[in-house]
Amino acid sequence: MNDSFGILQSLKRIGVDPQNPGTSTGSVWMDSGESHLPSYSPADGQLIGKVQQTSAETYEQVITQAQMAFETWRTIPAPQRGEVVREIGNALREVKADLGKLVSYEMGKSYQEGLGEVQEMIDICDFAVGLSRQLYGLTMHSERPGHRMYEQWHPLGIVGIISAFNFPVAVWSWNAAIAWVCGDVCVWKPSEKAPLSGIACQKIVSGIFAKHGMPEGISNLIVGDYKVGEWMTQDTRVPLISATGSTRMGKIVGKTVAERLGRSLLELGGNNAIIITENADLDMAIRGALFGAVGTAGQRCTTTRRLIIQENVYEEVKSRLASAYSKLVIGNPLDEKNHVGPLIDQDSVKNYLRAIEKVKAEGGKAVVEGGVLEGPGFESGCYVKPAIYEAENHFEIVQHETFAPILYLIKYKTLPEAIALHNGVPQGLSSAIMTTNIREAEAFLSAAGSDCGIANVNIGTSGAEIGGAFGGEKETGGGRESGSDSWKAYMRRQTNTINYSTSLPLAQGIKFDI
Ligand code: NAD
């Protein structure tokens, strides 16, 4: 492979072999006898490596080892588990440049965003360390004399993590760092489109568990497509499945896990909008919309897909956005002069082209026309032009998440109408209003405002900090992970009542004497 960006050196420094097995319980890597999954870079179409997929047999070995590891890990005091996670954060600091580069090359996001993704991993480790001393339960006043009531939080067991291609490492860390301090063990199935990033993470963390004398099986990796994911979703030994990906996947996973009365934490697709009112600071609105719509080539769950613009500023926003789009430089994501990198693969390019056809067929008008780029530098066939179309909110294609840089412009007259348009889609992840008017801002944040899990004022929809709970409503799946009290999803709550009196009164004053 032509390695002008030094990927092979980065892989070597992290300890990743381009022909790596994909099944691991920590320091142990298993030969599954299965075929190898190729990983191609969308940046230049080159084969980066091949990862051996997990077999049914090695999956069983992983789960058995994870069960055994849980018996030890759950008894380690949470602050000591936090100490291990603190060292994982430090190890990530040391490999930030190499891992960021691999993420950028394997997934296609810019190098800056690759670094940002690793920084999120470091941040969540720091958060989890603090959390390891704050897994608080409440105490309650018992109605019975001589009784004490309180609740405590215990670890659940094995957390199955299924992740999407677009955040190939950060989403795992949001789950794993928190699950580990909670006393759980993790089995991770990364996206089949970014398996080497998964291997890199497993290599980075496994040495740290070993150094602390911890058993194999606290951090586990399995590799393969949806079938490998299904082994976990159907497995009663995995009490929690945290799945990030499309709504289509979430509906299947949610149903499968519910059928066995397991728990699922679903982080699914978005259809995020920014309302730009006539009181907006338009410089900020344009900047927020631009990064939101074209950053990561429109492949973030929080990407801005709709702009709902007040009619008095509509034409100005439209022409300023078109002008900003004309200055975008598209190309290799590792070259820092480029603003927009490739889509993940050619299937994704087909979806992008289908969406453009569809919006036009439904009556949409191009403001900035899309298209696929060809020629030197675009050999992978995955580079597309960020596009803008004037559309109506009710168009079938506008109701749907297309995972590509296509932005729809929608006009409104009054704020209640804008909020109704905003909420009038099946998804409910991220949302924003651009306004300097406090009444408009508060109305948007009120119970009658945005129906999303994330609602911002004068910030775009794209991206989030780890300190808040991340996730969305409706077809986004309802899950919350990362900050705030999201940790509760990874633990089971136990209510304890202790009688220190010499009598045995029943609750609600019930008499039962013989
Ligand atoms: P995808 O649904 O195709 O795949 C996601 C993961 O699910 C992969 O690991 C895949 O192998 C696995 N999978 C698919 N079907 C499965 C099944 N039936 N059983 C078990 N596992 C299964 O998604 P993708 O193309 O990788 O990612 C893009 C999607 O992810 C977008 O819709 C995006 O909005 C969403 N996403 C959501 C969030 C969030 O936090 N809400 C974050 C990132 C991405």
Candidates 3.40.50.2300, 3.40.605.10, 2.60.40.10, 3.40.50.2000; correct CATH number of 7-268+477-493?
A: 3.40.605.10
Whole-angstrom CA distances from 299 to 194, 233, 245, 254, 304 are: 14, 25, 11, 23, 10
Q: Strand 263-267 vs strand 427-428: parallel, antiparallel, or unpaired?
A: unpaired
Q: Digits of tens for pLDDT over the chain (514 positions)?
A: 678 789 999 999 999 998 899 999 999 999 999 999 999 999 999 999 999 999 999 999 999 999 999 999 999 999 999 999 999 999 999 999 999 999 999 999 999 999 999 999 999 999 999 999 999 999 999 999 999 999 999 999 999 999 999 999 999 999 999 999 999 999 999 999 999 999 999 999 999 999 999 999 999 999 999 999 999 999 999 999 999 999 999 999 999 999 999 999 999 999 999 999 999 999 999 999 999 999 999 999 999 999 999 999 999 999 999 999 999 999 999 999 999 999 999 999 999 999 999 999 999 999 999 999 999 999 999 999 999 999 999 999 999 999 999 999 999 999 999 999 999 999 999 999 999 999 999 999 999 999 999 999 999 999 899 999 999 999 999 999 999 999 999 999 999 999 999 999 999 999 998 8
What is the C-alpha to C-alpha distance for residues 272 and 475, in angstroms, rounded to an integer?
Answer: 12
Residue nearest to atom 42 of ligand 1 (CA): 301
Ligand 1 atom closest to Cα of residue 270? 34
Distance 146 CA to ligand 1 centre (A): 52
What does the pLDDT read at residue 379?
A: 96
Phi, psi of 356 (to 5 degrees): -65, -45
Query: CA quadruple 228, 230, 235, 239: dihedral positive or negative?
Result: positive
What is the C-alpha to C-alpha distance for residues 383 and 299, in angstroms, rounded to an integer?
Answer: 13
What does the pLDDT read at residue 413?
A: 98
Distance 448 CA to ligand 1 centre (A): 30
Ligand 1 atom closest to Cα of residue 481? 40
Q: What is the DSSP string of 118-150?
A: HHHHHHHHHHHHHHTT-----EE--SSTTEEEE
What is the C-alpha to C-alpha distance for residues 407 and 188, in angstroms, rounded to an integer?
Answer: 33
Phi, psi of 210 (to 5 degrees): -65, -45
Asked if 464 and 454 touch (Cβ cutoff 8 Å), the reply is yes
Distance 163 CA to ligand 1 centre (A): 6
- Looking at the chain, the domain(s) classified CATH 3.40.309.10 span 272-466
Residue nearest to atom 17 of ligand 1 (CA): 226
Q: Helix 170-182 and helix 111-131: axis angle, to 10°?
A: 10
Residue 510 per-residue DSSP state = -
Residue nearest to atom 10 of ligand 1 (CA): 226
Q: How far is CA 334 from the centre of its chain?
A: 22
What is the C-alpha to C-alpha distance for residues 167 and 164, in angstroms, rounded to an integer?
Answer: 6
Phi, psi of 30 (to 5 degrees): -105, 140
| Ligand 1 pocket mutation pick from 166, 175, 192, 406 by most atoms within 8 angstroms of CB | 166
Is 1.10.10.10 the CATH classification of the domain at 272-466? Answer: no
Whole-angstrom CA distances from 88 to 63, 92, 93, 122, 134 are: 23, 6, 9, 8, 19
Asked if 107 and 99 touch (Cβ cutoff 8 Å), the reply is no
Distance 266 CA to ligand 1 centre (A): 10
Choose among 383, 373, 388: nearest CA to 345: 383
Ligand 1 atom closest to Cα of residue 245? 30
Residue 203: how many CA atoms within 13 Å on its side-chain side? 20
Structure tokens at 314: 């509509």
Distance 445 CA to ligand 1 centre (A): 29
Catalytic residues: 267
Asked if 405 and 376 touch (Cβ cutoff 8 Å), the reply is no
Residue 451: how many CA atoms within 13 Å on its side-chain side? 18
Ligand 1 atom closest to Cα of residue 472? 41
What is the C-alpha to C-alpha distance for residues 405 and 297, in angstroms, rounded to an integer?
Answer: 5
Residue nearest to atom 36 of ligand 1 (CA): 245
Ligand 1 atom closest to Cα of residue 225? 11
| Ligand 1 pocket mutation pick from 249, 343, 429 by most atoms within 8 angstroms of CB | 249
Distance 402 CA to ligand 1 centre (A): 13
Ligand 1 atom closest to Cα of residue 269? 34
Query: CA quadruple 316, 321, 322, 327: dihedral positive or negative?
Result: positive
Distance 425 CA to ligand 1 centre (A): 20
Ligand 1 atom closest to Cα of residue 303? 34
Structure tokens at 375: 């020629």
Query: Who lines ligand 1 at CB under 6 A?
Result: 162-167, 189, 191-192, 225-226, 229-230, 233, 244-246, 249, 252-253, 267-270, 301, 401, 403, 429, 476
Ligand 1 atom closest to Cα of residue 162? 9
What is the C-alpha to C-alpha distance for residues 383 and 342, in angstroms, rounded to an integer?
Answer: 4
Q: What is the dihedral of CA 24, 30, 36, 42, to 10 degrees?
A: 20
Distance 401 CA to ligand 1 centre (A): 13
Whole-angstrom CA distances from 276 to 306, 308, 414, 423, 437 are: 11, 6, 11, 15, 11
Distance 328 CA to ligand 1 centre (A): 28
What does the pLDDT read at residue 358?
A: 98
What is the rounded end-to-end Cα distance, in angstroms, of the chain? 85
Residue nearest to atom 22 of ligand 1 (CA): 226
Stated pTM of the model: 0.98
- Looking at the chain, the domain(s) classified CATH 3.40.605.10 span 7-268+477-493
List Cβ neighbours of 324 (8 Å cut-off, separation of 6 or more). 286, 290
List Cβ neighbours of 476 (8 Å cut-off, separation of 6 or more). 247, 266, 267, 268, 269, 270, 301, 427, 428, 429, 452, 453
Asked if 405 and 422 touch (Cβ cutoff 8 Å), the reply is no
Asked if 38 and 53 touch (Cβ cutoff 8 Å), the reply is no
Residue 306 per-residue DSSP state = E
| Ligand 1 pocket mutation pick from 103, 226, 343, 486 by most atoms within 8 angstroms of CB | 226
What does the pLDDT read at residue 4?
A: 79
Asked if 471 and 478 touch (Cβ cutoff 8 Å), the reply is yes
Residue nearest to atom 43 of ligand 1 (CA): 301
What is the C-alpha to C-alpha distance for residues 196 and 299, in angstroms, rounded to an integer?
Answer: 19
Distance 136 CA to ligand 1 centre (A): 32
What does the pLDDT read at residue 361?
A: 98
Residue nearest to atom 40 of ligand 1 (CA): 267
| Ligand 1 pocket mutation pick from 120, 234, 246, 352 by most atoms within 8 angstroms of CB | 246
What is the C-alpha to C-alpha distance for residues 452 and 480, in angstroms, rounded to an integer?
Answer: 12
